[in-house]
Structure 1
């Protein structure tokens, strides 16, 4: 999954004391940020195989440190602790939401991936394979993204005109990125794809922090009233 991962990040902004949107954007893709770095350094590996699945050419052969179930749990715990240390204002509640955002990545990948997600660090692999059924793959991604997005819109209030325009500009960007990812040419190899993916993830994190400056949580406004 790609843009669908951002649905949970949007959704947690409906919490009473939510984390920042930029931090939530990083959390939901933390596993893939680590994966991109590990691919570039040779720790994990895979290949581009056109036609491997209807919606994905990625054959992910070895990724126990990022996409195994225990790996995902470890990244979730680490994300929660690091967020609590560096941004203590939201308390453990916001930190736990960050941990859940990190773990949501594995859950959503389980829906669409081929059986390439290890249940142990390098044991039995699972995945429902919805990327091979375009209606399910696209539908799941769209539902998760837009449910989270509309929860975000309902839980926040624009500060100025930018707060009305920016969310829709970002969701349009997500749709464009998704279309390019699925309809554009496949990368030459995985080591070429990894830095492009990493760059995209980090740019989106920056956009999340910028979007946070244009809208305010309604629960925060109520607390001040």
Structure 2
């Protein structure tokens, strides 16, 4: 899942007191930004295994800090707190935190069992990456539906 992660950002951005759309797009990808950073630092790990899934060759075998539910909730809380300190807007902070947290739940749909609740087994994932004929339309439907929702609920600034 990639563009599907932006669907919650569009939905939250349609709320009147939400953080800006750019901020919410960062929130949508914060878990993967964190993963890339921790991967480079050697804290989390992956390997390329051709054929591990039908859609990508990544064996994401060690992601306890970014792709565990607990880790995602901690990232969400930190990001939400940063938004609150920057804006003093509770609604913006909560919305941004929810977008960060949504990443784990959306990943749960497509990942093979490599996600955890708190960094240790059991490993979870519904494996839609092995079913492109389901995963691709689902991702398009998520982002398409969210875009239509955003488009209908917002207006461009006048002038």
TM-score, normalization by structure 1: 0.68
Secondary structure of the residue aligned to 1:123 is coil
Residue 138 (structure 2) aligns with: 140
Once the two structures are superposed, the pairs formed by residues 22-33 of structure 1 within 5 Å of their partners are 22-33=22-33
Instruction: Tell me whether 1:63 sits opposite 2:57 in the alignment.
Output: no
| Equivalent residues, number | 159
Once the two structures are superposed, the pairs formed by residues 185-200 of structure 1 within 5 Å of their partners are none
Residue 19 (structure 1) aligns with: 19
Residue 95 (structure 1) aligns with: 93
Once the two structures are superposed, the pairs formed by residues 1-225 of structure 1 within 5 Å of their partners are 1-88=1-88, 91-159=89-157
Q: Deviations over 1:116-147 (max 9, x none)?
A: 00122222110000010112111221111111
TM-score, normalization by structure 2: 0.95
Larger radius of gyration: 1
What is the CA–CA distance in structure 2 between the aligned matches of 1:70 and 1:159, rounded to whole Å?
39
Where in structure 1 are there 5+ consecutive unaligned residues? 161-213, 215-225
Native 8 Å contact 1:13 1:155 kept in 2: no
Runs of at least 4 residues of structure 1 off by over 2 A?
Answer: none
What is the CA–CA distance in structure 1 between the aligned matches of 2:20 and 2:157, rounded to whole Å?
16
In the TM superposition, what is the alpha-carbon distance from 1:13 to its structure 2 partner?
1.8
Is the helix fraction higher in 1 or 2? 1
RMSD: 1.4
In the TM superposition, what is the alpha-carbon distance from 1:107 to its structure 2 partner?
0.4
What is the CA–CA distance in structure 2 between the aligned matches of 1:8 and 1:142, rounded to whole Å?
13
Native 8 Å contact 1:13 1:152 kept in 2: yes
What is the CA–CA distance in structure 1 between the aligned matches of 2:137 and 2:109, rounded to whole Å?
11
In the TM superposition, what is the alpha-carbon distance from 1:114 to its structure 2 partner?
0.3
Is the strand fraction higher in 1 or 2? 1
Where in structure 2 are there 5+ consecutive unaligned residues? none
Secondary structure of the residue aligned to 1:118 is coil
Secondary structure of the residue aligned to 2:120 is coil
Q: Deviations over 1:158-191 (max 9, x none)?
A: 347xxxxxxxxxxxxxxxxxxxxxxxxxxxxxxx
Secondary structure of the residue aligned to 2:143 is helix
